[in-house]
Structure 1
């Protein structure tokens, strides 16, 4: 069934019978989809739509959204120089898809137009938003559970014992915290371990993406996201109702957390020492020199006997002399 643009009701459906729209209801929010035939009247391409709407530009030539080799090199170079992220040529289609968010937000007609913005004198203002759309934010509560089980059974008791003996504090760092599922999972384990009240304990959560940090700091999630947690661990999140289909992580967990924006390839303002560092599923995006630099700096921040957790597909290769492999992607500083 053809439908008019919701923001332009005066443009009746009869003027564009070649446009078919429907909704995909199985998403968290209905997703408008459209099918456009090749017989689009030239006079209606594509300025006849509201710019920035879901159907804006659907009738445009596909070449408008192509990512040329020159523009890909620009985007990949920015990702490498600004965030240490290595983007291979076979990821070109993925990058183009992610750039669509910025094109819609800025009401631009093509990838080429967006890249011209990046090359302009005002291009530096767009860099934070570009890095936000380029970074991957796939995560989940209690992901890679063996790390969290080890944290609760081994790393935390060891850290508490040391802190009480030396009258010191306990510090944990989630270095790529994304939308917050990882640091809240850490905080859940901390709370469940019942740390001695005399201990000053904090969890630092950082990420390069300011958008996901804002969401993480709010601590609000769709109920279905939390429901996907392991049944025996889900109660540890102490969730409170926040809306019809939304919950908020319990205050007893939120009080442990501090959120800060941090680009891992720039200077780190933290001085440590940390007892535990989670640096999971981020090394895979870096080249070898960047990985080595980050690991070396983790050594400097971790106390002797402190713990480093890497992602399931990551490892210290070649082995680092400062770390001993204790378990699957679990390392201890010598």
Structure 2
């Protein structure tokens, strides 16, 4: 048995996944999502795709990959949804939202065109985008202003959850009490919370593959791209950060994740805080 045909995770697994199977999955993930999957991700990949094997009644990963190759246009969305990672929470990395409220938004309220655009890129189930909405809500922009948040993700399933704006009650533990009272409500059984319509109406959820053409026409005042590029290789990161710069005006802000950095990737931004950048040119 060649190395690529040997079981990658041992014989005790429900489904056989060979090294060759994993390499094909990793190649497809890189090509279609930009995500880099090393062998240390084998257990994660197995756990996610095994669910799809059960749904389809397949006995091994090779059978699923054959199906995927023959039906990629129909199955690609399911495959991408399984591969992408969707960890998020309200007020994650709270210093970002403190800076947004105290420094960025006061500047936005001075804009002469009375138009505000913020992009939550890689928005997952929407808690980041809604936290941005809470900050905008507290700023009390006049009703005559045109204020919108774009929330995009590759995974269509998480976008549906974001649009619904319904989350487990304990997910609101990080939300300040005054914000909760203003913008969230509990379900009758107290098990869930729901984002009020005043905030949901600010956020527009759209599916977007960051590696493909971006359909947006105008620029954004602020872009959040947090804990997204860590899954990409450096060449993809360089392209992505420079594309973000193209969609920001000089002085526009970019927020990235706590384990990410622009160092060596682009010189079009200056650091103005912990993982907070402002466009220079």
TM-score normalized with structure 2 length: 0.91
The CA deviation at 1:101 is 1.7
Structure 1 residues 319, 233: CA separation in 2 closer, same or farther (over 3 Å shift)? farther
Match of 2:221, SS state, is strand
Q: Number of aligned residue pairs: give it.
A: 269
Q: Do structure 1's residue 263 and structure 2's residue 209 form an aligned pair?
A: yes
2:61 counterpart of 1:86: no
Check whether the contact 1:279–1:310 (CA below 8 A) recurs between aligned residues: yes
1:237-276 matches, within 5 Å, as 238-244=183-189, 245-276=191-222
2:153 to 190, 207, 213: 207
Distance 1:243 1:268, change over 3 A: farther
CA deviations over 1:132-185 (Å, ceiling 9, x no partner): 0111111110100000011111111111212xx2x2411000001001110011
The alignment partner of 1:240 has SS state of strand
Label 1:236 to 1:173 Cα distance change in 2 as closer, same or farther (>3 A). Answer: farther
Aligned partner of 2:49 among 90, 99, 117: 99
Q: CA contact under 8 A between 1:139 and 1:178: conserved in structure 2? A: yes
Within 2, Cα distance between the matches of 1:88 and 1:229? 33
Cα distance in 2 between the residues matched to 1:101 and 1:63: 13
Query: Is residue 2:174 matched to residue 1:217?
Result: no
Describe the shift of the 1:63–1:141 C-alpha distance in structure 2 as closer, same or farther (beyond 3 A): closer
Matched, 1:77 2:27: yes
1:234 is displaced (CA, Å) by 4.9
Distance 1:238 1:270, change over 3 A: same
2-structure distance, mates of 1:237, 1:327: 29
Instruction: Find the aligned partners of 1:295 and 1:311 in 2 and give their Cα distance.
Output: 13
Q: TM-score, normalised by structure 1?
A: 0.77
Distance 1:219 1:289, change over 3 A: same
Unaligned residue ranges in structure 2 (runs of 5+):
1-10
Does the 8 A contact of 1:204 with 1:259 survive in 2? Answer: yes
Check conservation: 2:241, 2:265, Cα contact below 8 A: no
**1:178 maps to which residue?**
124
**Aligned-partner Cα distance in 2 for 1:196–1:325:** 31
Q: Measure, in 2, the Cα distance between the counterparts of 1:66 and 1:187.
A: 45
Aligned in 2, Cα 1:319/1:180: closer, same or farther, shift over 3 Å? same
d(CA) in 2 for partners of 1:246, 1:149 = 26
Alignment-derived partner of residue 12 in structure 1: none
- What residue is the counterpart of 1:116 in the other structure? 66
- For 2:138 and 2:114, the matched residues in 1 are separated by 21
- Computing the radius of gyration from Cα coordinates, the structure with the larger value is 1
* Kept after mapping to 1: 8 A contact 2:238/2:265: no
What is the SS of the residue equivalent to 1:128? helix
Taking a change above 3 Å as real, the CA distance of residues 63 and 149 of structure 1, as seen in their structure-2 partners, is: closer
Question: Which of these residues, 105, 109, 120, is aligned with residue 160 of structure 1?
Answer: 109
Distance in 1, Cα, partners of 2:159 & 2:187? 19
Secondary structure of residue in 2 paired with 1:65: coil
Question: CA distance change for structure 1 residues 319 and 130 in 2, over 3 Å: closer, same or farther?
Answer: closer
Distance 1:157 1:332 in 2: 15
CA-based RMSD of the aligned residues comes to 1.6
Deviations 1:214-260 (A, max 9, x none): 0110001111222x214446526621234521221011111111000
